Chains A and B, each alone.
Chain A
Amino acid sequence: MSRYQDTFSGKVLIVDDELIVRILAGEALAQAGFQVRTIDDGSQVAALLGEFVPDIILLDVVMPGLDGYATCAELRRSEPGADIPVLMMTGFDDLESLQSAYQAGATDFITKPIHWQGLPYRVQYIIRSSQAYKELKTNKILLSQAQRLAGIGSWQWHLSNDTFLWSEELYQIFIIDRQEDDRTSHSFFRFIHPLDQVLVKSAIEAAVAGKTNLSIDHRVILPTGTELNVHTEAVLEFDGDGLPCKMLGIVQDITERKRAEEQISYMAYYDTLTRLPNRQLFNDRLTQALRRSERAGEKLAVLFIDLDDFKLINDSHGHRVGDLMLEEVARRLEEETRANDTLARLGGDEFTILLHDVKSEENVLLVAQKHLHNLQAAYQLDNKQLFISASIGVALYPDHGDTVEVLVKSADVAMYQAKEKGKNHIEFFTEELYSKASERLSLQGDLRRALEQEEFVLHYQPRINLLTGCWSGVEALVRWQHPERGLLLPLTFIHLAEETGLIMPLGEWVLREACQQLHRWHDEGLNLARISVNVSPLQFRRQNILELVKSAVSNACLCSRALELEITESALMHDMAQSIATLQRLQHLGVNISIDDFGTGYSSLSHLRTLPINILKIDRSFLRTAHESADDAQILSSIIAMAQSLNLAIVAEGVECAEHEALLHQQHCREAQGFFYARPMPADELTCLLRDGNHSFEPVASRSGGDSQQPCSLPAGDTNLSGDGPQPVCLQVPGRPLACQGRRFCATATVWPPSPPLQQKSGKDGTAA
């Protein structure tokens, strides 16, 4: 039953040798609500703290044994006792001993005889103030730690008498010797960077005059000479008259943040590999240069530099070597770039140079030639000697454009032309190139629409078994039935489709449609064994080709053996391990794999041995010259022999005349395709041909009775997505081409006596196998 309206709480330890005091003080405090323990000897205190940690200790001064001072001093040295408030109970006549009490670490004193009813209030007050003090101390430590972590210090500036006080943290940030601080604003201002003195002073003056807050970034120089970036934020305090009397400020060290910002800005404007300006910075510089040149009436030149076949370096030597080469290329280009010109890496193997104050085209040409020359020298990378060339396109201001976009695009277009002219070449932009480029652009737009509008069609070119004369299969070739331009061959749009990524949906459509078409032929009872489809490198690498093939084959109710995928060697080189895994899975399905255009890429024997493939398709270029050059004939024969030794089937592409066929026959090549037998044709034409061949084909047709167009005079036929030439004229004559093709096919078989198997073929009448 407490007689107090206030609530008291806390643990109290009373140490007094007088039982009467212990009883009465204990009673008074317990009644008030405190938890009380009493002991009669100071020497017991330390032991008691192990089990009972009081919030306050009431300590008698005069005790036999350990007296109050000694007990208090010992308490202060102990871990739990250091912060416990001690209320010394002294006699009313012991005032002279108070000094000793405080020296021993007493918190407060109370004189005996004690006013019992007032004691709980006194005790509670000391406990509260002690807790408040502890919290304050903790907060101060936390604040100080936080400020130290954040690199924040604070100051107070009394404006009337120029007293400038620093916080502990500020002393640490500025590494200041306290002795040197004269406690005026002078000692603060002398740390400010000389170049920022005026800035800071005028900002402070403006804040005082305008009665506003101060917020400013500036530099300081430490006594050690180190330069720091700091942020200063300050507020004003006003006197009774509303005049500023005091400024309170914080200073934060933002050096690290500034550094990070600079790093981010560097990364935003510079290429990390070569440390050259990137596209963003190049565009900025070009924008500024255009403004200056317009005023000064000067000419500018933009050089667009693209390495020739850089992809081969990456593919064959790995990206690390590729990166080393890019660094070296950047170094060589930089060597020949004037200080006020800008060399940038736009990305990949594309570089640009901005030339200021161009006097003549000849000067630009000389600069470009110098770069080409430098880049051609051998590269020693990773203990390998490598070579590379570049193609350069040039656009001039104001001749070829007056905006960043147009100039860079024009130089790009010119570079593209330089590539087409055989690489390692310099080309200036012309209007003609522009129309070519814009044609490409409009084609790009058309291409997207074409997919939606289903303007693509497939043509099919038969493949012939030279031993039997039968068709061993057909190759599906994509065509674009352009509404305005007519039938377009892959050469005009495949590259664009690859650039825009449209090759993915296009490739998928080709695969599905080819499978469906084979299924339709089978439905009509036309027995074609196999259809081959070209797979673009991108499609092979990116798309889930396995799932796509499975779905295309099963949707068309075909056996996977009926499908052959043609892939170029370079498409496989990108990631050999991945390529091999994909090919193995495809083969596991039963799909045949052929290497397209063999002989134009690496033609690496070791690769051929490791790649799980079935067929090699020899590029047309070998056949074109083989019957004229003994060397080329030898190469052809070697390739065929090698393929045979590796158990690979061989298909010769681009057979255009009887001489080609004879040569292939001589080399024991089994399969061939080309205009000599049949050009690529729409499905219904092929259907007719198959039917006619089955039912009404005349084996012996007179060559002279055929149309006047000689097979050998035909331009190079197409056997893949990107290798098309123009179409033969006879396509346009309805009815004729079938007979034409049939006769030609037949004639080959009959007029070539040295080959007995082919003579046998005439008996089979070119029937499709």
Chain B
Amino acid sequence: MQSDESLLSPSADAISPVIDRKFIDSIISLQHPGNPDLLERIIDKYINDFGCLCSGMLLALDEGDINSIRLMAHSLKSGSAILGLTSLAESCKKLEALARNNSTDGAAELLEQMKKDFVEVQNILHTFKSRNHEA
């Protein structure tokens, strides 16, 4: 399951606190000639989802719609975990737990942190995308 594609294994990525490379590798290993851009599709979908979900959660926070926050946090957590985006997934988990406890205390801060993390993550994801494309 561990990818043996050395092109995609920059040692610097492996130690990044925001991303766990082996999840990306796992997705890459599902690719085959009939479906070479799987990783790109997943990353695009995630980036798109993030934008929607993040603004959705901010809106829900304004409106006090805690259940929507919970569902969206759960959804974003799932996608983040799949791509190995450790810190984002951890934030989503906290947000979801808050919502489950019917609370929004610290939710705005968490969302702010997530946005910051995303900026960094987005760059890395774009790098993976283009590398994958070139490969």
Binding site for B on A (CB under 8 A): 1, 17-21, 23-24, 27-28, 31, 62, 64, 91-93, 112-118
Q: Is the CB of A91 within 8 A of B74?
A: yes
Residues of B contacting A115 with CB < 8 Å? 1, 26
Q: Is the CB of A27 within 8 A of B74?
A: no
Q: Is the CB of A20 within 8 A of B46?
A: yes
Residues of B contacting A118 with CB < 8 Å? 1
Stretch at the interface among B77-85, B105-113, B120-128: B77-85
Q: Is the CB of B82 within 8 A of A113?
A: yes
Residues of B contacting A64 with CB < 8 Å? 71
Q: Is the CB of A18 within 8 A of B78?
A: yes
Q: Which residue of B27, B30, B84, B93 has the most chain A CB atoms within 10 A of its CB atom?
A: B30
Q: Is the CB of A21 within 8 A of B82?
A: yes
Tell me the complex Cα distance, A116–B41, Å. 16
Residues of B contacting A18 with CB < 8 Å? 75, 78-79
Give 20 A-B pairs besides A18-B78, A112-B82 with Cβ atoms closer than 8 angstroms. A18-B75, A20-B42, A20-B45, A20-B46, A20-B78, A20-B79, A20-B82, A21-B78, A23-B42, A24-B38, A28-B30, A62-B71, A64-B71, A91-B78, A92-B81, A93-B93, A113-B84, A116-B1, A116-B27, A117-B29
Q: Is the CB of B32 within 8 A of A23?
A: no
Residues of B contacting A112 with CB < 8 Å? 78, 81-82
Q: Is the CB of B77 within 8 A of A91?
A: yes
Tell me the complex Cα distance, A91–B23, Å. 16
Q: Is the CB of A19 within 8 A of B45?
A: yes
Contact with A along B20-59 (1 / 0, CB 8 A): 0001001101101111001001100110010000000000
Pick from A23, A31, A93: contact of B41, CB below 8 A.
Answer: A23
Q: Is the CB of A117 within 8 A of B1?
A: yes
Residues of A contacting B45 with CB < 8 Å? 19-20, 23
Residues of A contacting B33 with CB < 8 Å? 1
* Closest Cβ neighbor of A63 among chain B residues: B71
Instruction: Give chain B nearest CB distance to A42 CB in angstroms.
Output: 14
Q: How many A-B pairs fall under 8 Å by CB?
A: 62
Q: Is the CB of A23 within 8 A of B81?
A: no
Residues of A contacting B29 with CB < 8 Å? 116-117
Instruction: Give chain B nearest CB distance to A64 CB in angstroms.
Output: 6
Instruction: Give chain A nearest CB distance to B21 CB in angstroms.
Output: 13
* Closest Cβ neighbor of A93 among chain B residues: B93
Q: How large is the interface on B (under 10, 10 to 19, 20 to 34, 35 or more residues)?
A: 20 to 34
* Closest Cβ neighbor of B31 among chain A residues: A27
Residues of A contacting B23 with CB < 8 Å? 113
Tell me the complex Cα distance, A112–B35, Å. 23
Binding site for A on B (CB under 8 A): 1, 23, 26-27, 29-30, 32-35, 38, 41-42, 45-46, 49, 71, 74-75, 77-79, 81-82, 84, 93
Tell me the complex Cα distance, A20–B26, Å. 14
Pick from A1, A20, A62, A92: contact of B74, CB below 8 A.
Answer: A62
Instruction: Give chain A nearest CB distance to B73 CB in angstroms.
Output: 10
Q: Is the CB of A23 within 8 A of B1?
A: no
Q: Is the CB of B30 within 8 A of A116?
A: yes
Q: Check A27/B35 contact, CB under 8 A, given A18-B78, A116-B27.
A: yes
Residues of B contacting A17 with CB < 8 Å? 75
Tell me the complex Cα distance, A39–B36, Å. 23
Tell me the complex Cα distance, A389–B38, Å. 111
Tell me the complex Cα distance, A23–B32, Å. 14
Tell me the complex Cα distance, A760–B63, Å. 153
Q: Is the CB of A27 within 8 A of B1?
A: no
Residues of A contacting B74 with CB < 8 Å? 62, 91
Instruction: Give chain A nearest CB distance to B86 CB in angstroms.
Output: 11
Tell me the complex Cα distance, A325–B43, Å. 106
Residues of A contacting B46 with CB < 8 Å? 20
Q: Is the CB of B30 within 8 A of A24?
A: yes
Q: Is the CB of A116 within 8 A of B71?
A: no
Residues of A contacting B1 with CB < 8 Å? 115-118
Pick from B38, B71, B77, B84: contact of A27, CB below 8 A.
Answer: B38
* Closest Cβ neighbor of B42 among chain A residues: A20
The list of the 9 closest CB pairs from A to B, nearest first, reads A117-B1, A113-B81, A113-B82, A62-B74, A27-B30, A20-B79, A18-B78, A116-B26, A116-B30
Residues of B contacting A20 with CB < 8 Å? 42, 45-46, 49, 78-79, 82
Tell me the complex Cα distance, A28–B46, Å. 19
Tell me the complex Cα distance, A560–B93, Å. 120
Pick from B26, B71, B78, B79: contact of A117, CB below 8 A.
Answer: B26
Instruction: Give chain A nearest CB distance to B35 CB in angstroms.
Output: 7
* Closest Cβ neighbor of A94 among chain B residues: B74
A-B contact pairs, 25 of them (CB 8 A): A1-B32, A1-B33, A1-B34, A18-B78, A20-B46, A20-B82, A21-B82, A23-B38, A23-B41, A24-B27, A24-B38, A24-B42, A27-B35, A28-B30, A31-B30, A31-B32, A62-B74, A91-B74, A91-B81, A113-B78, A113-B81, A113-B84, A117-B1, A117-B29, A117-B30
